[in-house]
Amino acid sequence: MAGLGSAAAAPAIAKSATDPDFDVIIIGAGAAGIAAARRITRSGKTCAILEAGDRLGGRCFTETRTFGSPYDQGSYSLHETDSFPVAELTTKAGFEIYKKPSLRQLRTRTPQKSDANRSARERELEDFYVNLARCDQEIAKASLSDADISCAQALPKDMGDWRSTMEFMLGPFTFGNDLSDIPAKEYVSCNRPETTVRIRQGIGALLARLAHGTPVQFFSPVSRIDWASQGVTVEARGQRLTARAVIVTASTGVLASGKINFKPALPGKYADAISKLKLGSFDRVAIELADNKLKLPTDELLFEKAVDRKTAAGHINFLGSRLCFVQLGGKTCAELADEGEAAMTTFAVDWLAAQFGSDIRKFIKRTHATRWNKQPWTLGAFSCPSPGGQAARKQLAQPLGDRVWFAGEAVHDTLWGTVAGAWETGQRAADQVVKRVAE
């Protein structure tokens, strides 16, 4: 296929004058697309991944130029599941798992005027964890109601000055959405494994390695999918490719934008599901310090007792480096991203200085801010339906006319928002497609 390449060397694929170009075309080279391609090629069926951008990994992106070392701009931790055996895949790929768990610290303000916050005292930490547990319990109770209410509505009313902290931790930091936009039923459906690992060489780099040998065509944004006939025809930059089936792993943000035109148009229930699975906002500002001026251990996870929703979390000395991630989420993140990288960086540096004193500014070497909402082939972080949209994931997971399958984190009913969830849905779609094209 002219222009067909891969992360390494793509296997040659012969064309036929009468048969489709491929058994399966996969749209998107993120975790779901890579998982699907690996499954399909091992089954002996032919496939190709059409990737709109110039790299593998989707919302998992590791780059080394900014700081001279691996820097994950997207996902930076992985969940181990039966379908996504991280330890096994990492070992086979020759990568190194970083197992040191993050320590959690809480900073709080002193009653007196001060240039910086201080570490929370024992009683404050106790209040912190008690309120977290209370919030979880109340949201769980609310999820049992016939009414579909938001997590924010379910929170205890008597948390006082802890409310902003709880709302940030449970909403923007965990799900990239404010709690007012997260249904209680959706919150409790999340069943992520507690154990997470990190990859020293980067998660995006790992996915690129796992894609070795899968046929990928870069710079190929798909503009149209014609699924009216027995097979499908896909158009990408004026090129028309045919297949027996297609697996669409583009984000729901891209699908909702109308960048991919379906012919005939998607049935209303699919279009409705896509519109309800909106992507939240989750970004980080990476700050490189000249030394460990914060005097904190490796991989310290830092929160503050917030006074309003404009707060953040800090990941200090990430993987033993001098990088500090200031994590932003929800509406605050979206607003700052709209203003630009400079506004995000200013907010992050000010937030870090508020925790440790303004002298910290003198030791900043380099910075970088992600803006996933502005990435044209992503348009957001990860999915979360608004209240009333819980059925959207299951709906989108259903094959369309036995020719179109959707995969990605948005269609996993318990692991949404994770690499493991995207990987599993890619494998699941591939298994169904292989069975279908073999008939």
In a domain, 250, yes or no: yes
C-beta of residue 231 within 8 angstroms of C-beta of residue 25: no
Residues 392 and 367 both lie in one domain: no
Residues 289 and 237 both lie in one domain: no
Residues 174 and 321 both lie in one domain: yes
Residues 349 and 396 both lie in one domain: no
CA distance 24 to 28: 13
* Bridge partners of residue 327, in order along the sequence: 284, 313
Residue type present at position 30: G
For residue 211, the domain's CATH number is 3.50.50.60
Give the list of residues 6+ apart from residue 57 with CB closer than 8 angstroms, or none.
29, 30, 31, 34, 74, 203, 204, 207, 208
Between the alpha carbon of residue 42 and those of residues 9, 47, 268, 370, the distances in Å are 16, 11, 35, 35
Residues 129 and 169 both lie in one domain: yes
Instruction: Using 50 as the pLDDT threshold, list the residues of the chain that sit under it.
Output: 1-17
Residue 229 is predicted with a pLDDT of 81
Q: Count up the domains in the chain and report the number.
A: 2
C-beta of residue 377 within 8 angstroms of C-beta of residue 52: yes
C-beta of residue 31 within 8 angstroms of C-beta of residue 207: yes
In a domain, 32, yes or no: yes
Residues 288 and 159 both lie in one domain: yes
In a domain, 97, yes or no: no
Pairing type for strands 261-263 and 222-226 reads parallel
Residues 139 and 167 both lie in one domain: yes
Residues 186 and 214 both lie in one domain: no
C-beta of residue 246 within 8 angstroms of C-beta of residue 225: yes
In a domain, 11, yes or no: yes
Instruction: Output the six-digit token pair for 248.
Output: 């669409």
Residue 320 is predicted with a pLDDT of 85
CA distance 421 to 423: 5
Residue 99 is predicted with a pLDDT of 76
For residue 310, the domain's CATH number is 3.90.660.10
Residues 258 and 296 both lie in one domain: no
CA distance 318 to 316: 5
Give the list of residues 6+ apart from residue 438 with CB closer than 8 angstroms, or none.
45
In a domain, 191, yes or no: yes
In a domain, 380, yes or no: no
In a domain, 73, yes or no: no
Side-by-side strand order, sheet with 97-98: 78-79, 196-199, 97-98
Residues 38 and 109 both lie in one domain: no
C-beta of residue 234 within 8 angstroms of C-beta of residue 224: yes
Instruction: Output the six-digit token pair for 96.
Output: 């190194």
Residue 268 is predicted with a pLDDT of 95
The total of other beta-carbon atoms located within 10 Å of residue 292's CB is 14
Residue 431 is predicted with a pLDDT of 97
Residue type present at position 8: A
- Kindly report the pTM of this predicted structure: 0.92
Residues 287 and 320 both lie in one domain: yes
The residue range of the domain holding 107 is 103-195+280-374
In a domain, 138, yes or no: yes
